[in-house]
Amino acid sequence: MQETVTTNYVMKVSSNGQVSIPAEARARWNADQVVVVDLGDRVVLRPLPDDPVGELRGKYKRRGPSSERSRRQSRSDDAARARQR
């Protein structure tokens, strides 16, 4: 199980809407870009990997229907709609 590190920082938001990420956090994440996620009651900054698509490769393997199965179902649904016209 991975250990979770929780650290809180209080930061000032500049008049331009900028916030400085503390050096300790920048060093830990070593990211050039972050994604800002607005959750309604809070904002989360998440590091963006250099290759976001590559990072996702294999992440959802064996979850949900296969792409081939989804394609077959979609084609079947399209054909059924076409017959109804």
Residue 31 pLDDT: 83
Rg (CA), the chain: 22
pLDDT-based confidence at 65, cuts 50/70/90? Answer: confident
Residue 57 pLDDT: 80
Burial class from Cβ neighbours inside 10 Å (0-12, 13-18, 19+) for residue 27 reads exposed
Residue 39 pLDDT: 95
Residues 6 or more apart from 32 whose CB is under 8 A from it?
48, 50
Average of per-residue pLDDT across 72-81:
92
The string of pLDDT tens digits covering residues 6-20 is 888 899 999 999 999
